[in-house]
Amino acid sequence: MTTETDIQTFLQRTERFAREVLAPQVPAWERERRIGREVFEQVADIGLTRVELPVAWGGLGLPFSAKVRMSEILAAVDFGFTMSVINTGNVANKLAREAAPDVARRYVADIIHGRRFGSVALTEPGAGSDFSAITTTATRGADGWRIDGAKAWITNTAISDVIVMYAQTEAGSGARGIAGFLIDGQRKGFIREPAFAMAGQHTLGTGGFRLDGYIARDDEMLQPPGKAFKAALASINGARTYIAAMSCGMVGEALRIASDYGERRHSFGVPLAEHQGWRWRLAEAGSELAACRMMVNQAAGLLDAGQDAMLIAAQAKLLATRMADRQLPLLMQAMGAEGLREEYPFGRHLIGARLANFVDGSTEMLLERISAVMRRS
């Protein structure tokens, strides 16, 4: 039984790690275009990749809302690093809950101790928003499932080798034929592509991989056709909630830095914050942030209680990502040229906010989801 004290202790450790370990190193990782894998031992010690994992599997067994709060704290420093940590944790959690116990036992401990990294791979070079159009094939053979195809835009693939992946078992059958598999990147037939060079946020190690005659054993099929499509989307309300929280984290940190700067920097003989035109900008950002946080809390509360959060999670992500897209450039502007310096997170956060518009449902797909729920009610 976890208590609020357990959650607070975990969040305080997360805060300390974000401030003392992450913040000083992230600018260099971005410059070097890589995931900061050297801190994953500390990540493991604090438990950042095993927040929700049941205690019996070595997890902290905390409620989903604790992971949401952790996401906001980490993303205040770096969106990409947070995505990397969360995706690895999601794989451990999925395996413990959905894989055959023997299969899960082979991987979960290595993942949560920072020895192996995880990805969840739906997207392909030719299929993003339309998940049912994936063309990676899984063909039944004597020794298991032969898998051929390619995945693209997958978080962590620069280093991950425990991958929950979806493939089509029956060409032309769309969502119905999709099955979920565990892919071990250390096996024959797995070919890692170089990580993508992007506009920024290389700390999430986005890239792709190919499977060429890869054999997944029978017990490595995580969900059979008919169940996998739904299972893949089952966790999306949670993902939308933590992405919304991460957007709040980036804006909250930008607001904190700008507020502090406004008291120290003078123009026309007074601190910047004395100028009405300057401080109103921060008042707008703070008000939007407060509203988005309320939506995040509502979605997380519903998910903790096992209730339907489809509408509020989609709305929270829609509005929080829009807020980050709009407010981050304005808060950066409030810093003058100083905000361009690498030691501040503004530049990285601008790209983080852009990426947040695509991961776990693009803005357009969210609007589709929201209108579908509204038309039903």
Ligand X SMILES: Cc1cc2nc3c(=O)[nH]c(=O)nc-3n(C[C@H](O)[C@H](O)[C@H](O)COP(=O)(O)OP(=O)(O)OC[C@H]3O[C@@H](n4cnc5c(N)ncnc54)[C@H](O)[C@@H]3O)c2cc1C
What secondary structure letter does DSSP report for 51? S
> Is residue 365 near ligand X by the rule CB under 6 A?
yes
- 25, 135, 259, 362: which one contacts ligand X (CB under 6 A)? 362
Q: Judged by CB, which is closer to ligand X: 7, or 232?
A: 232
| Backbone angles phi and psi of 192, in degrees to 5 | -80, 135
> Is residue 366 near ligand X by the rule CB under 6 A?
no
Residues in the chain, total: 377
Rounded CA separation 251/289 (Å)? 7
Is the CA virtual torsion 184, 52, 166, 207 positive or negative? negative
Q: Judged by CB, which is closer to ligand X: 109, or 365?
A: 365
> Is residue 289 near ligand X by the rule CB under 6 A?
no
CA angle 245, 208, 166 (to 5 degrees): 75
> Is residue 370 near ligand X by the rule CB under 6 A?
no
Q: Judged by CB, which is closer to ligand X: 332, or 359?
A: 359
> Is residue 91 near ligand X by the rule CB under 6 A?
no
The torsion angle over the Cα atoms of residues 13, 19, 22 and 27, rounded to 10 degrees, is: 170
Residues of this chain, 106-145, that bind ligand X according to CB under 6 A: 119-123, 128-129
In the chain, what are the helix, strand and coil shares in percent, each to the nearest 5?
A: 60, 15, 25
DSSP letter for each residue of 70-131: HHHHHHTT-HHHHHHHHHHHHHHHHHHHHS-HHHHHHHHHHHHTTSS-EEEE--BTTBSS-G
> Is residue 154 near ligand X by the rule CB under 6 A?
yes
> Is residue 206 near ligand X by the rule CB under 6 A?
yes
Q: Judged by CB, which is closer to ligand X: 10, or 153?
A: 153
Q: Judged by CB, which is closer to ligand X: 17, or 117?
A: 117
> Is residue 153 near ligand X by the rule CB under 6 A?
yes
> Is residue 355 near ligand X by the rule CB under 6 A?
yes
Q: Give the interface with ligand X as residue ranges (CB under 6 A).
A: 87, 119-123, 128-129, 153-155, 204, 206, 355, 358-359, 362, 364-365
